[in-house]
């Protein structure tokens, strides 16, 4: 009687948790409400976790020591996660997202390994249950090591590496894991389980290693979806509705975001996975042929902006590196006080992860209505007096429009070249993350403003104040 009542209570709590997940995900669709969305989602997960520990612990006659160990582990993980969240720099946010993706995958692997013994011991165990276990194990392993490789690439410590017959090797590893799964069911030899674990970890490395640095936003989204899918299969093993629903939401959101990222680059997911453009080295020629760039000084730029009707700011990873989001917001406020219309143009794959620029600008309290998506911004450039490109490169590269030989040809970009004046804030003439030279730097209406973006924008604000 008591267990039946507890089970009903558990189902109600899981339903409330699922509602909190969905509300949180909906709120996270806008920077204005994203913080509240995180709180809702965290509340839902906390509620489901606490109820699971208490109710299932009671049903299993858990001891005080077992409860204590669980809550100590939660407290320790919370402290580590809180410390990382508080101390991580915005430039390192993509790496932290990759790391957390990897931890989710590792958790799915641990659950699958732990649950195998229970599955093998039950007389009524089904092949469907084993399939959930196998898929959670494989996808979780791929998400774990794949995310760690992505982490290393984002930090510039791991370079792209394409093996001879890479796709054939990948396919052989997948087939081997399927065969080992069959042998594990047929023989019950646990060594086959550990072999699957090792191969799934290897496949994660092989899967991400060839992918070019410029494709990292897509890879991060894809690995995020893998983590959600792995959590779903782990939930199926436990018949835990909260895990299933949470995993489905994460997996589907990550998949949708991956598709949107591919559309923003005008590339198929398969092309991203095998195309491997952009090594992220930042090396390349600074000038070629008769290309000659022009330089601007702070006073010239201040005059251009202060007497413009419209200024559009295009942020990129260089803004994150310089931590210049607050400085650019100050320039925006000064210009608007002088009657200048100021907008921000955000490319979907600007930065190192989806939404990177939105997060940075939200941190600086830039009003969300000022952030224009690519399709809304592009029609405005022809009637814009000045565009300030702050650390962006590949997403404003006109080679995507008019150079069929360019690796990014066909990728939708922000058409800043159509503006009357383009001022590009960079430290040097080095190409962007994709390692491709940008003809925008040499256009007649473009000028380079070299230096640290935060310092340059601070000086620009001081010049505007003095006018």
Mind telling me the catalytic residues?
394
**Please, are residues 437 and 285 in contact by the beta-carbon 8 Å criterion?**
yes
Short-list 221, 203, 230, 21, CA closest to 136:
230
Residue 82 CB neighbour total at 10 angstroms: 10
Residues forming a β-bridge with 345: 372
Which residues are CB-contacts of 255 (< 8 A; sequence separation ≥ 6)? 222, 225
Residue 206 CB neighbour total at 10 angstroms: 20
* Dihedral pair phi/psi, residue 312, rounded to 5°: -115, 130
SS3 (DSSP) at 451:
coil
What is the rounded distance in angstroms from the CA atom of residue 94 to the CA atom of residue 236? 30
What is the rounded distance in angstroms from the CA atom of residue 344 to the CA atom of residue 370? 6
DSSP state of 385: S
* Run of H or E residues at 341: strand 341-346
Angstrom CA distances, 3 to 13, 401, 433, stand at 15, 65, 57
Residues forming a β-bridge with 421: 386
Short-list 294, 341, 306, 320, CA closest to 461:
306
DSSP state of 406: S
Residue 286 CB neighbour total at 10 angstroms: 12
Question: What is the Cα 270 distance to its own chain's centre?
Answer: 18
SS3 (DSSP) at 448:
strand
Radius of gyration of the chain (CA): 25
For 267-329, the DSSP string reads --HHHHHHH--------S-S--TT----B--HHHHHHHHHT-SEEEEEE-HHHHHHT-HHHHH
Short-list 460, 447, 422, CA closest to 298:
460
Tokens of 467: 């006018």
Angle between helices 356-363 and 325-337 (to 10 degrees): 70
């Amino acid at each position: 009687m008591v267990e039946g009542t507890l089970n009903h209570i558990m189902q109600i709590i899981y339903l409330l948790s699922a509602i909190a997940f969905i509300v949180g995900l909906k709120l996270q669709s806008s920077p204005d409400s994203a913080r509240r969305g995180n709180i809702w989602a965290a509340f839902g997960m906390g509620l489901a976790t606490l109820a699971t520990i208490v109710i299932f612990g009671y049903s299993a006659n858990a001891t005080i020591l077992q409860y204590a160990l669980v809550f100590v582990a939660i407290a320790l993980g919370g402290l580590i996660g809180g410390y990382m969240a508080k101390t991580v720099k915005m430039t390192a946010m993509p790496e932290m997202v990759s790391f957390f993706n990897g931890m989710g995958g590792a958790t799915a692997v641990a659950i699958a390994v732990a649950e195998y013994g229970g599955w093998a011991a039950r007389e009524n165990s089904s092949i469907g249950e084993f399939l959930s276990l196998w898929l959670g194990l494989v996808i979780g392993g791929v998400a774990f090591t794949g995310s760690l490789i992505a982490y290393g690439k984002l930090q510039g410590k791991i370079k792209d590496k394409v093996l001879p017959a890479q796709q054939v090797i990948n396919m052989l590893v997948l087939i081997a894991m399927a065969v080992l799964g069959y042998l594990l069911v047929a023989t019950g030899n646990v060594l086959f389980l550990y072999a699957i674990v090792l191969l799934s970890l290897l496949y994660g490395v092989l899967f991400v290693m060839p992918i070019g640095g410029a494709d990292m936003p897509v890879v991060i989204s894809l690995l995020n979806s893998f983590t959600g899918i792995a959590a779903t299969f782990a939930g199926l093993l436990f018949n835990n509705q909260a895990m299933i629903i949470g995993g489905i939401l994460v997996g589907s959101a990550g998949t949708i975001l991956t598709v949107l990222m591919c559309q923003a680059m005008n590339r198929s997911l398969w092309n991203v996975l095998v195309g491997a453009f952009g090594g992220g080295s930042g090396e390349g020629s600074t000038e070629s042929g008769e290309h000659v760039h022009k330089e601007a000084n702070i006073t010239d730029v201040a005059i251009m902006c202060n007497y413009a009707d419209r200024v559009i700011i295009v942020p990129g990873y260089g803004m994150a590196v310089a931590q210049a989001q607050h400085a650019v917001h100050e320039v925006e406020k000064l210009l608007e006080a002088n009657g200048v219309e100021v907008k921000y143009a955000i490319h979907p794959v600007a930065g190192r992860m989806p939404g990177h620029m939105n997060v940075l600008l939200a941190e600086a309290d830039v009003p969300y209505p000022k952030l224009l998506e690519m399709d809304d911004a592009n029609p405005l450039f022809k009637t814009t007096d000045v565009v300030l490109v702050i650390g962006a490169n590949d997403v404003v590269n006109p080679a995507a429009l008019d150079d069929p030989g360019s690796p990014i040809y066909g990728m939708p970009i922000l058409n800043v070249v159509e503006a009357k004046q383009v001022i590009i804030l960079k430290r040097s003439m080095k190409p962007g993350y994709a390692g491709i030279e940008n003809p925008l730097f040499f256009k007649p209406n473009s000028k380079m403003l070299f230096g640290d973006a935060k310092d340059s924008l601070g000086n620009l604000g001081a010049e505007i104040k003095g006018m």
